[in-house]
Amino acid sequence: MQPLDPQQTAARTWFESLRDRICAAFEAIEREAGSDAAFAYTAWDRIDPSGEPGGGGVRGVMKGRVFEKVGVNVSTVGGTFEGDFAKSIHGAGDNPRFFATGISLVAHMANPHVPAVHMNTRYLCTTKRWFGGGADLNPPLPYAEDTEFFHARFREACDAHDPAYHPRFKQWADDYFFIPHRGVHRGVGGIFYDHLDHDFDADFAFTRDVGEAFLAAYPPIVRRRMASGWTPDEEREMLAWRGRYAEFNLVHDRGTLFGLKTGGNIDAILMSLPPRAIWE
């Protein structure tokens, strides 16, 4: 992989620092629940199809009392897209060389009253440079209070940069996190954006604020619900819902496809799958 330029280095450094803060916040919640669970980190290396080193990443996974399974991955990879896949990537149709760095997080919770969550932000370079990502809440048992709180934090982050961002990116999330073969949304939404390439400094500032919004939104919701009791029927509803989450990630998720097509670490790519699920 070619040496990183200052913008690539700044993005990678931010994603790594955000990972550290999120993992510390999640471990603190486990301590509050009387658990000593902690993240276990596994580094991995990628070989580009050319045979040259293609970067790599670190996969972090924690299994605890509150977080049944949570994965937080950071990767920084580069090289050349293979075959026709390049044509599907913004700016890579004529030149298949690429660079990508980002953070990806999925949390599956032990308590069905605590919503699962996904968050991802990334910076990609082909013949174009852009940021993308977002976050969405996935409650098996939705609470209107939690949904509004989550959306409000991201609305604030968006409005600080452009009043048009939140309605646009919220609708994008609603459209993207949809399971066509089921005819249902994956959860209660959030925001999703891609190909944000107006100005590096402004777009990077917005992407950092998306990370800050996640930290402001999700841990309070976890703390609000994690002591709730649940019934076997509620747990079964959570496991059936997890089956739908797995269907989306395996059939429709673009991030899963990107990881597989670029030779990423299989365990990191499929970290998003729940530890338990049922289909009925």
> Measured between alpha carbons, how far is 203 from 207 in angstroms, rounded to an integer?
6
Beta strands in 110-207 (DSSP E): 116-125, 129-138, 178-179, 184-185, 189-196
Distance set, CA 244 to CA 54, 67, 184, 251 (Å): 33, 19, 9, 10
Amino acid symbol at 196? L
For strand 129-138 and strand 189-196, is the pairing parallel, antiparallel, or unpaired? antiparallel
| C-beta of residue 214 within 8 angstroms of C-beta of residue 168 | no
Type of residue at 121: T
Q: Give the Cβ contact number of residue 246 at 10 Å.
A: 16
Establish whether 151 is a catalytic residue.
Answer: no
The residue behind tokens 């199809």 is: 49
Catalytic option among 118, 151, 166, 185: 118
Instruction: Of 78, 73, 58, 89, give the one whose Cα is nearest residue 4.
Output: 78
Report, as residue numbers or ranges, the catalytic residues. 118
